Amino acid sequence: MTTILTVRRNGKVAIGGDGQVTLGDFIAKADVNKIRKLLDGKVIAGFAGATADAFALLDRFEMRLKDFPSNLPRAATELAKDWRTDKMLRRLEAVMIVIDPKTTLLISGTGDVLVPSDGVLSTGSGGNYASAAARALIKHSSLSAAEIVKESLLIASEIDIYTNSNVVIEELSE
């Protein structure tokens, strides 16, 4: 369980995640980095779900990005097709949010490749809390995208027992 959140605002896109790894009701590790730069930092991914599964998917996704280096939606669609049709990949349990300067996508093992309508997208156990906080901060503050991600993840960490306050945030310019 974890929380990943991305926000687009004022020409910037930020993505962040907390650092908690939980095994059942046990906190196994509190400082894991669930945000990864891909394609020499041109794409950033955040993952929720089984860590080993997410790493396997990130490796496969990076291969797809190399196949379609300037087309994030196409690389994501190809990964989603692989994920649904490959016998090994089909069993992997994770969700990824990926960003580049122009695009934000959620990719899941059910074949979803979703684009947010308002520039806010989250996943994980605290995702709904983080999204609600981000939308309120966008509406009622002048904070930057990275500041909104940080504050929203901290709010989620106060509500969701599977999310902690050890956050990692990365940002790209549009």
The residues that are catalytic are 2
Cβ-count burial 104-137 (b if 16+ within 10 Å, e if not): bbbbbbeeebeebeebbbbbbbbbebbbbbbbeb
Helix (H) or strand (E) holding 149: helix 145-159
How many Cα atoms sit within 13 Å of 77 on the Cβ side?
Answer: 6
Report CA-CA distances (Å) from 174 to 42, 70, 140, 152, 168: 11, 14, 23, 21, 20
CA distances from 123 to 67, 94, 107 (A): 26, 10, 10
What is the C-alpha to C-alpha distance for residues 72 and 92, in angstroms, rounded to an integer?
A: 21
